[in-house]
Amino acid sequence: MSKHLMAILLILSLAFNLAVLGMFVYTTTFHKPLFAPPGSGHPHSNWEHRGDRMSPDSLFKDKDEIRKLRNDFRKAKREFVNTMTKPKFDEKASLQAMELSLQAQDKLERKLATSLIEVRRNMTPAEAKKFFEHRLNRMQRFDRRNGFNHREQPEANNPPKE
């Protein structure tokens, strides 16, 4: 090989090595991952507001009851949809299953709402503002991901300012 070709290959090799080294330094020093790997100990950037009091596991005192209500609602909803799959449509059975599903949903929503009120009662105003604004933002992100239009509901986009 000629000296000219060897010099070009050496320069290319150095450039690639510097690129790999630069990428390593950037990812370990400056770049925070969006989702930390399990067990890595790196908190997600949006998790700093969570202390023991605000973690999902300790948020509700009656989380077992809420879990049961959620499972009951899912089961009732599945039963309602199952009545629609039957070859012979029975409107009376479908309406009955729909009512059971709606009752289960109502029980779940009421329990969640009363639990949130109880949690709010034990928070300082600053904690409540931070926690519930975060919760509202999560709800809005969910709506955007699922194609709900917030333009029709301007109050949902703009929480009241104090």
Q: Which is it for the CA torsion 63, 67, 73, 74, positive or negative?
A: positive
Check pLDDT > 60 for residue 15.
yes
Least confident of 39-43, 64-68, 131-135: 39-43
Q: Which residue has the higher pLDDT, 22 or 156?
A: 22
| Upper half-sphere CA count for residue 72 (Cβ side, 13 Å) | 16
At 149 the three-state DSSP class reads coil
Q: Dump strand ranges (E) for 56-111.
A: none
Q: For residue 22, what are its two tokens?
A: 């630069």
Q: Quick one: pLDDT at residue 158?
A: 56
Q: DSSP state, 44?
A: -
| Residue 121: pLDDT band with limits 50, 70, 90 | confident
Residue-wise pLDDT for 23-53, tens only, equals 888 887 776 666 555 555 544 444 444 444 4
Torsion of CA 129, 133, 135, 136, to 10 degrees: 140
Q: Quick one: pLDDT at residue 52?
A: 45
Check pLDDT > 80 for residue 137.
yes
